[in-house]
Amino acid sequence: MNALVIILIIALLISGVGLIAFIMLHSGKGTGVSDAIASSLYSSQTGTSIIEKNLDRITIVFAIIFIVSLLLLMIFYPKGSIL
């Protein structure tokens, strides 16, 4: 195994774990019709908080790192022959 493979696999693992962790930190949002009606009638806040925006940004960064490292592994080792 060369250094590039080790770096890409470590980036893939860390970004995958980070992606799972930060997705789990997001607040739940209702998807039902009653939630949609209630939130439009009784909502006093129109924007998201700073914490949620930062969670979104961090999640997007982890997703980009995950996808890029996965694509690079697919390009450099198309048949999965890392050894």
pLDDT band for position 13 (cuts 50, 70, 90): very high
5, 77 Cβ separation under 8 angstroms = yes
- The Cα 82–Cα 80 span in angstroms is 6
- Write out pLDDT tens, residues 21-52: 988 887 666 555 555 555 555 555 545 578 77
Higher pLDDT: 35 or 63? It is 63
83, 6 Cβ separation under 8 angstroms = no
User: What pLDDT score was predicted for residue 51?
Assistant: 78
